[in-house]
Amino acid sequence: MIDDPYLDVEVDPWVLKNVPGHRDRAALQRAEDEFASDRIARLDAAPLHSEYDWPLLADIHRWIFDGIYSWAGERRSVGISKDGGAFTPAQQLPRQLDEFFDELTRVDHRDDRDSYLADIAYLYERLNHLHPFREGNGRAQRAFWELYCADQGRPVDWTRLDKAENDTACAAGGRGDLRPLRAMFARLID
């Protein structure tokens, strides 16, 4: 038996409980993609917290997914993994998120591009490893970094993102090699 309160195991052991009531993964994925794409396109209309902290990231996630998941914007309470690699254990998230956002406020974004790219690659990997939500982490994090980088005067163009490149770069970052993430951001940030 799968012990994950987010799953609707009576319907399908791999379908997340969802607001629209979709009972199969394909229908849920289509609804999630459509809803999230619309919300991301209208992010400037979202009522968001003004500081770059946990409440802002939670607000972003809630805005993007509240029509799909009742738990949108809430920290996950279960362990999750991808391709055999585990993300931060759920019980460690409160402390790890506090540490991450404290670190984010202390980063001195120097004027030179290389230092900025190194900082963003490191911070992106740290937040990605936390993966604080049960689903939708990538889209919420990209929206967060889009706002953050724009405020730093260095907008990121996610339309140039290649999913395979992102997945490979994140996997390398998880092993401690940030070079692929720096190269990815060098293409995405003008």
> What are the C-alpha distances in Å from 31 to residues 11, 23, 82?
17, 12, 22
Q: In this structure, what are the phi and psi dihedrals at residue 51, rounded to the nearest 5 degrees?
A: -95, 155
Query: According to the model, what pLDDT value does residue 13 have?
Result: 81
CA neighbours closer than 13 Å in the CB half-sphere of residue 158 = 16
pLDDT, tens only, 125-171: 999 999 999 999 999 999 999 999 999 899 999 999 999 999 999 99
pLDDT at 1: 43
Rounded Cα gap, residues 51 and 160, in angstroms: 27
Query: Where in the chain are the domains?
Result: 49-188
For the domain covering 49-188, report its CATH number.
1.10.3290.10
Residue 133 backbone phi and psi in degrees, to 5? -110, 160
**Is the pTM for the entire model greater than 0.85?**
yes
Rounded Cα distance, 18 and 161, in Å: 28
Which tens digits make up the pLDDT trace of 37-60?
999 999 999 999 999 999 999 999
* Structure confidence at residue 2 as a pLDDT band (50, 70, 90): low
Could you give the CA distance from residue 98 to residue 111 in angstroms, rounded to a whole number?
26
